[in-house]
A and B are shown apart, each in its own frame.
Chain A
Amino acid sequence: IQLVEPPESVVEKVSFLFNNLSMSNLPKKTEEMRTLIEENGKEFLRWLAQYMVMKRVSIEQNFQPLYNNFLTAIADKQLEKACKDETFRNIRILLRSDKRQAASNFGDRQLLKNLGMWLGMITIAKDTPILNTDLDLKSLLMEAYYKGQQELLFVVPFIAKIISSCGKSEVFTAECAWIRAMIKILAELHCEPDLKLNLKFEIEVLCKELQVDLRNVELEGVLKDTDRLLRVPQQLGDLKML
């Protein structure tokens, strides 16, 4: 999608607003943004969603709770929808990207983690599901395992960041079937002897956060079921020849 950039003066107003947004001036800045949205129409809304996700949320991880509150305060259904779509769009791009240099590609991995944390915040933490048609988390874990180390390096921390929002949800707790299924796979991965140590830590930290005892998670051998692994929908980039 090609978005029309608003006039420079509007872009600068938005940038000034986000440079100075804080919890204490949230109501005032919310009003300002509502006015901007009213004056600039639908095209602007889509551009704004892209700006928020790409220039702010994915990079300024420290202010994600603030931007989440801001989005909630603006209370514009279209903007919320556009932000969510934009989040999925960026996640898909990063998932499909070339992962051969995963170990050194710190930037992309960090972006994906940040987007994962954000996605959890605007879905799970608000008792809204992540639909398989938008992003199939369980299949993604299986696909990454099938495709190898580099893919796991991207996917495991990403999934862990998303799931860590479970602590804030009434519906999607660590006990619900959807989340449990993923914890089971993570636990199974954790048993793999050649899993990178930092990924093991990532899984342990998540379980501690969710008060799940790894030793009590029953394993189903999902990762041993090769036929099933072969059939999962492909969300990551193709395997590259060496």
Chain B
Amino acid sequence: ELTLLGVTQYYAYVQEKQKVHCLNTLFRKLQINQSIIFCNSTQRVELLAKKITELGYSCYYIHSRMAQNHRNRVFHDFRQGNCRNLVCSDLLTRGIDIQAVNVVINFDFPRNSETYLHRIGRSGRFGHLGIAINLITYDDRYSLRRIEGELKTAICPIPKSIDPKLYVAEHQMEGGDAA
């Protein structure tokens, strides 16, 4: 059901303590419509959401220890565009089906390929364009290659600048403007 087609995947080597700094850099360089940021534990979800809200991000969070109706509410509000970014743990089991989400960030790299696919994969064959960025620590180095192999996909080192064609819809404007 889930596919990685249409999603360009990158990784960046970081130390744990550089992760927030790295996130800041991404949010200054990329053109994000809406984003989802994944952490590996409910505690880290809350900590990160609090931290980046202080830094001026527009963000909500959901995790598995929240009541289902509360989660639904937050997710619904996010889908409506009431906020731009969503920090969450692993609870979306059907893949992201929000058209506006063009950037997914694995703030913590998942431990197995099934989780990776659930976070990054899109449902349906015509998934919308998007990029996925994985923050990889020294401890994740083997998981990265293992998951890449198991899913038969390519996760490349993040380049200095990312071509908007890969994740910003209707990039054609650039070409048209030259006329």
Residues of A bordering B, CB below 8 Å: 12-13, 15-16, 19-25, 28, 54-55, 58-60, 62-63, 66, 90, 93-94, 96-97, 107-108, 110-111, 114
Cβ–Cβ contact A59 & B176, under 8 A? no
Q: How far is the CB of B126 from chain A (nearest CB, A)?
A: 12
Q: In the complex, what's the smallest C-beta–C-beta distance from A25 to chain B, in angstroms?
A: 6
**Chain A residues whose CB sits within 8 angstroms of the CB of B29 once the complex forms:** 12, 15
CA distance A96 to B84 in the complex (A): 35
Contacts of A114 in B (CB 8 A): 170
Assembly CA distance A21 to B33 (angstroms): 10
Please indicate the chain B residues that have their CB under 8 angstroms from the CB of A19 in the complex.
27, 30-32, 35, 84
With both chains docked as a complex, state the minimum distance between the C-beta of B52 and any C-beta of chain A, in angstroms.
9
User: How many Cβ-Cβ contacts under 8 Å join chain A to chain B?
Assistant: 81
- The residues of A that contact B28 with a CB separation of less than 8 Å are 12-13, 15-16
Closest 8 CB pairs of A and B: A12-B28, A22-B58, A107-B172, A19-B32, A20-B58, A16-B28, A107-B170, A22-B83
Q: Which of A20, A59, A96 has the most CB of B within 10 A?
A: A20
Residues of B within 8 A of A (CB): 24, 27-33, 35, 56-58, 81-85, 99-100, 168-173, 176-177, 179
Contact with A21, one of B84, B100, B171 (Cβ below 8 angstroms)? B84
Q: A93 contacts B84, CB within 8 Å?
A: no
Cα(A63)–Cα(B172), bound, Å = 19
Determine the main DSSP class of A at the interface with B. helix
A21 CA to B81 CA, complexed, in Å:
10
A-B contacts, 5 of them at CB < 8 A, read A23-B82, A24-B82, A107-B170, A111-B170, A111-B173
A107 to B179, CA, bound (A): 17
Q: Assuming A22-B58, A60-B33, A90-B176, what are 5 further A-B pairs, CB within 8 angstroms?
A: A20-B57, A25-B58, A54-B173, A59-B33, A62-B81
**Residues A62 and B82 in contact, CB atoms below 8 Å apart:** no
Q: A13-B28, A16-B56, A55-B31 are in contact. Are A22 and B176 (CB under 8 A)?
A: no
**Distance of A22 Cα from B24 Cα, bound (Å):** 18
Q: Are A93 and B177 in contact (CB under 8 A)?
A: yes
Give the CA-CA distance A90 to B99 in the complex, in Å.
Answer: 25
Least Cβ distance of B173 to chain A in Å?
A: 6
Q: How far is the CA of A66 from the CA of B83 in the complex (A)?
A: 11
A59 near B27 (CB under 8 angstroms)?
Answer: no
A20 touches B176 (CB 8 A): no
Residues A59 and B58 in contact in the complex (CB < 8 Å), given A19-B32, A20-B85: no
Closest to B52 in A: A20
Instruction: Compute how far the CA of A55 lies from the CA of B84 in the bound complex, rounded to whole angstroms.
Output: 16
Nearest-Cβ distance from residue B177 to partner chain A, whole angstroms? 6
Inter-subunit contact A59/B170 (CB<8 Å): yes
Measured in the bound complex, the distance between the Cα atoms of B168 and A63 in whole Å is: 14
A94 proximity list for chain B (CB < 8 A): 176
Taking CB atoms, residues of chain B closer than 8 Å to A96 are 179
From known contacts A94-B176, A111-B172, infer whether A20 and B81 are also in contact, taking CB-CB under 8 Å: no
Whether B82 pairs with A59 at a CB distance below 8 angstroms is no
B98 to chain A, nearest CB (A): 10
A144 to B: closest C-beta gap in Å: 18
Closest to A55 in B: B31
Q: Is the CB of B27 within 8 A of A24?
A: no
Q: Which residues of B contact A22 (CB under 8 A)?
A: 58, 81-84
Complex CA–CA separation, A94 to B176 (angstroms): 7
Instruction: Write the nearest CB–CB distance from A49 to chain B, whole angstroms.
Output: 14
Checking B27, B30, B32, B173 against A58 with a beta-carbon cut-off of 8 angstroms, the contacting residue is B173
In the complex, residue of chain A having the shortest beta-carbon distance to the beta carbon of B176: A93
